[in-house]
Each structure stands twice: as structure tokens, then as C-alpha cells.
Chain A
Amino acid sequence: MSIGHTLLGLLESGPRHGYDLKRAFDERFGHDRPLAYGQVYSTMARLLKNGLVEVDGIEPGGGPERKRYAITDAGVTDVESWLAQPEKPEPYLQTTLYTKVVLALLTGRPAADLLDSQRAEHLRLMRELTRRKSGGDLADQLICDHALFHLEADLRWLELTAARLDQLAAEVTR
């Protein structure tokens, strides 16, 4: 995810301090990975340097000065073109997992067990997301659904690989 573009987008509704931006980000997008303060301030410094935000005001406080940031016209254009640009679809192959399966076959270890334990781990996470989804609001449900569909695709790959393990073993050990 582009943190810079996301923070810019959050600024479109009005100027905010760095702390407010972090809080707004975490509430909407940071369920699993809240932003570090350092990351907010370094990103804002970069956006400032590139003319995408400006300092709207400074409030002196007990600690460091609190800058309030506002998005510039260039910033709005930047958000607009980022939103309009489709994300590159990535055929997602778990390369580590594939490597592990092939190595297990090459070294005579039980590759089927490896696939089964990965499958159990995937389903464990899918259960957790399903529980979170049933107790959550629509935003939560959509975020969980996205993760669930990806995990389901992985799980189908695990199933298919398990079903073709003998064939794969014959190929890699040839």
C-alpha cells in the first residue's frame, strides 16, 4: 500500500496534525499493522518537500512543535491519478512454499505432511477472519473477505499440489 497516497487522501477532508493522521489511518486501514509515528513524520516530510502538502499552522506545545498539514492542489491531483491507476494484478505464487515442497521431495522428506500442516495453518487463519467478520461492521467484513478469498486461492493451490504430488516427485527427482 502507498502510505504517502493514503495520508494525502485522508488530508483531503481538511488539515490535520501528524498524530490525527496516524489515528485516522490506523482506524481505517491499520487493523493489523498500525503506522509507526516515525513513518508518518518521514512521509509528511517527503510530501512537504515534493510540494504535495504544506504546513497550515504550527502550535507550540510542551514537546516538539505540532505542525498541521494541508493538502496542496498538486497533492489532490496526485491522489486522483493514483486512484485512477489500476493496481498490477500479481499472480501470487507462494515461492517459499513451492521451494519447501520441491526440497522435501528432493530430500525424501514427507512433502504431503508439509502441505497438510500449511493447509491447517491457512484454515486456522480463515476461521479467525470468519469470526472477526461476523462480529464486525461492513468495512471489517469487506477487509476480511478480501483476505479470505486470497487464502482460499492458496488453499486450492495446496489441494491441487497435494493431488499432483506423485507427478511432481517424479519430475523433480528425474
Chain B
Amino acid sequence: MTAAPEPLLVATDLRKAYGPTPALDGAELTVRAGEVVAVMGPSGSGKSTLLHCLAGIVTPDSGDVRYRGQQMSLMSDGERSALRRTDFGFVFQFGQLVPELTCLENVAMPLRLAGRRRKDAEALAATWLERLEVTDLAGKRPGEVSGGQGQRVAVARALVGAPRVVFADEPTGALDSLNGERVMRLLTDAAHDTGAAVVLVTHEPRVAAYSDREIVVRDGKSRDMERAA
């Protein structure tokens, strides 16, 4: 039996309130390299807040998030921003591509922000567009492509920088079944090939079925469903 890979992200006893409303109330989660973890739960259960805490976008009121052993709350804003650029990739429900840039420029953007030359960045971005089966969109702007195509461009952008963790918040929420499944298949195949872990927030069981395991968040508390089985 092979030993489980070292945890990449470990969240312990996370608590976060927005005003009097607790969003997280002792949530926990461990993410290992190369695995796809689905975070499920009813609307307002705290699953997006959990994702934002894990990604260092939101600071929890108490509790601890460690990325590769390093406590994220002890990092400066600049260090957390750098981490998000170099080690994390993001896919959101509505793509959130920059409308003024072409699809190729959107995908190349994380590399450009990391200091890569335009030519190199766009060459690598083109290979990712090809991998996500949207090569023909390279010169188009986000407003000229369909929702499903835009999400595939967003997945390419999330993976182009070879992140260790991809955070996907309802990545298929705005797509029909066929397009949603295509995006999920391409995202999970690419993540498995590159060894990236995926934290996938979804309320759709058929999307969660692309994961390796599942965490359910209810009333700000998490439950590892491996232990429920």
C-alpha cells in the first residue's frame, strides 16, 4: 500500500462571522496533492467562505490554514498575493475573464503577472487553449464566446501557471448539463495529468461525482463523508 501524499492544505477549526451571522463554525479540511475534493452543502452553508479562507482571500476570525506547513495568517498580504499568483489557480461560476483582452491574452495573463515575456507566455497559453479544445477562440474576446467556451478558457487560465491547487467555485453553475460535464472532464483530466489538487465547491451531485472525495458543509461545520460511509 502506498502512503498518502503529504497534505498541501490543512484547515483546522475555522471560524468566521459576517456581523452576527456565523459563516464558519469549526470547519476543517485537508487537501492532498493530486486529489479532487468536492465541497458540498446547501446555499449559505459556508462552503464559499471555506474556499476563500483556504485560498487566503478571506482571513478567518480564528482557526488555522496551513499551506505546505506554513501558517497563512502569519503571511503578509503581499506574500499571500504572491502565493495566489504562483501556487493557486481559480475558476469561478461566470469565468470572470477580462473583457478587454482576447481569450489568448486572458490565459497568458497569470504568466505575464509572474514576469514571463509576452511571446513565451502566449505560446504556453496557446497550448492550454488547445488542451481545453478552444484553440479557435484565441483571438476572440470573452463577450464573443459562449458560456461553456468561456469556462474552458477560464480553466486554461487557472492551469497555465502550473498551480499546486485549483480552487473552483461552482465552475459549472451557469452551464447546461452537457457543457458542464465537458468542463468538469477537461478540468479533472488536466488536474490529474499535472498533479494539481482541486477544491471544487458545488451544489450539483453530478459535478461532485468527478471528485475523489467529498466534504459536506452544514451551518458552518464540515463533515468528511469518507468517515460517514
Residues of A within 8 A of B228 (CB): 113, 116-117, 119-120
Are A123 and B225 in contact (CB-based, < 8 A)? yes
Measured CA separation A152–B205 after assembly (Å)? 6
Q: In this assembly, does A46 line the interface, its C-beta being within 8 Å of a C-beta of chain B?
A: no
Residues of A within 8 A of B212 (CB): 127
Question: Given A134-B185, A159-B42, A163-B42, A123–B208 Cβ distance below 8 Å?
Answer: yes
Q: In this assembly, does A7 line the interface, its C-beta being within 8 Å of a C-beta of chain B?
A: no
* Distance in Å: Cβ of A101 to nearest Cβ of chain B: 15
Measured CA separation A126–B206 after assembly (Å)? 7
Ordered nearest first, which 6 A-B pairs have the shortest CB separation?
A: A120-B229, A126-B209, A116-B228, A130-B209, A120-B225, A155-B205
Are A130 and B210 in contact (CB-based, < 8 A)? yes
Q: In this assembly, does B216 line the interface, its C-beta being within 8 Å of a C-beta of chain A?
A: yes
Scan residues 205-229 of chain B and give those whose CB is less than 8 A from a CB of chain A.
Answer: 205-206, 208-212, 214, 216, 218, 223, 225-226, 228-229
Residues of B within 8 A of A129 (CB): 209
Are A120 and B42 in contact (CB-based, < 8 A)? no
Measured CA separation A120–B205 after assembly (Å)? 11
Task: Give chain B's interface residues, CB within 8 Å of chain A.
Answer: 42, 185, 204-206, 208-212, 214, 216, 218, 223, 225-226, 228-229
| Contact residue among B204, B209, B218 (Cβ-Cβ distance under 8 Å from A127) | B209
Residues of B within 8 A of A121 (CB): 229
Measured CA separation A121–B228 after assembly (Å)? 9
Q: In this assembly, does A21 line the interface, its C-beta being within 8 Å of a C-beta of chain B?
A: no
Q: In this assembly, does A71 line the interface, its C-beta being within 8 Å of a C-beta of chain B?
A: no
Residues of B within 8 A of A159 (CB): 42
Question: Could you pull out 28 A-B pairs where Cβ atoms are within 8 angstroms?
Answer: A113-B228, A116-B216, A116-B225, A116-B228, A117-B228, A117-B229, A119-B216, A119-B228, A120-B228, A120-B229, A121-B229, A123-B208, A123-B209, A124-B229, A126-B205, A127-B209, A127-B210, A129-B209, A130-B209, A130-B210, A148-B206, A148-B209, A151-B205, A152-B205, A152-B206, A155-B205, A156-B205, A159-B42
Residues of A within 8 A of B229 (CB): 117, 120-121, 124
